[in-house]
Every structure is written in structure tokens, then in C-alpha cells.
Amino acid sequence: MDGFYPYSYGTFAWLTLQGTALLFTPKLIITTLLEETRQPTLLEIYFARSCGMSQIAIATIFLILTGALPLASSYSITAEESDPKKEYAFPVLLITSGFHAAVAGYTYSWYAGTGQAGFAAGMALSGLLAAMGLWCMLFAGSGRISKRTGADKRTSGFPFKNVEADKKNRKRT
């Protein structure tokens, strides 16, 4: 999975950045979002900080479930077929890609309504992570390449036949 680890670390960094801002500067975040000038209530600060802690926790859980954060003493960058973390990688990737796509759409609607550059930046980064997640789901799997033909063993010849692979097979035999 060539693009999977950069996606994992990028998602972790983006969620941690958002969570850290909510955790350490909730008054600043809330004040910039308000149209009228007033002090944020204690309930607003509480919800901002708890949301920040939740985002950091979800980012850490994401790294652990995908196997990007090694929990064992020996570290291997390639996942074995019997690796128990491998079964969680695709479902977590699907959920986070959907999350990033939804956030990109939501921030786009805010950007279209307000025209603020902060929403455009959030939309661009969430959209990039959603596209990266989609790319990982489609192309970053471990292929099973035949040593004899050099083709992926999981492909079929339906509805078109692979004439070039057949020519290579005839030359070798």
C-alpha cells in the first residue's frame, strides 16, 4: 500500500491540528465564528474542548486500527496476509474517506456562503484527503503478480482477451 501510509499520517495530522485548535484556543475559535462581539459561554467552551479531545482520540484510533502506528516491538512496513490489523484497514479507510468528503462538501457550502479563505483551505485539504482515500481504496492494494506472465492473477479475460499476455505465454512454452 504505497499511498496508504501518507494518507494515514495526513488524516492524523489534519484531525490533530483541528482538535488541538479546539482544545487549546476555544475562546479564539468561538469568538471568530460569532457575528456579534461577546464572550463565549462556558458551555460553548466545554463543547469546543470536548470536541477537540474527541478529534485527537479519533485520529489516534485511526492510526492504530490501520497499522500505521506500530504497537509491537518489531516494526515491519509491509502487512502480512495474516496480520490482524489488515482486516481493519479497509473499513477504517472507507469511513475516513467518507468523512473527509462530507467535511469537504460542508466547508464548500460555508465557503460559498461567506467567501472566507479559511473555509476554502479546509475544503481543499479535506477534498485532497478524500481523493487520496479513494485512490488508496481503488489502487493501493497488494496485487498478486504472476511470476510467469507478469500479470495480476485476480484479473479475468472477460469480456476481452489479453492477447499480449497470451503471446508471452506461447513464447515461453
Residues paired with residue 152 on neighbouring β-strands, in sequence order: 145
pLDDT in tens, 98-117: 999 999 999 999 999 988 88
Sequence-ordered list of residues with C-beta below 8 angstroms from that of 75, at least 6 positions apart, any chain: none
Per-residue model confidence as pLDDT tens digits over 30-50 = 888 778 888 888 888 898 899
Which pLDDT belongs to residue 138? 84
- What whole-number distance in Å separates Cα of residue 66 and Cα of residue 85? 6
Q: What is the rounded distance in angstroms from the CA atom of residue 135 to the CA atom of residue 97?
A: 10
Q: What is the pLDDT of residue 169?
A: 60
* CA pair distance 2, 16, nearest whole angstrom: 23
CA distance 64 to 8: 10
Domain borders along the chain are: 4-142, 146-173
Its pTM surpasses 0.85: no
| Predicted pLDDT of residue 33 | 77
Return the pLDDT at 26: 87
Q: What is the mean pLDDT of the chain?
A: 80
The residue ranges of the chain whose pLDDT is under 70 are 1-2, 72-86, 141-160, 162-173
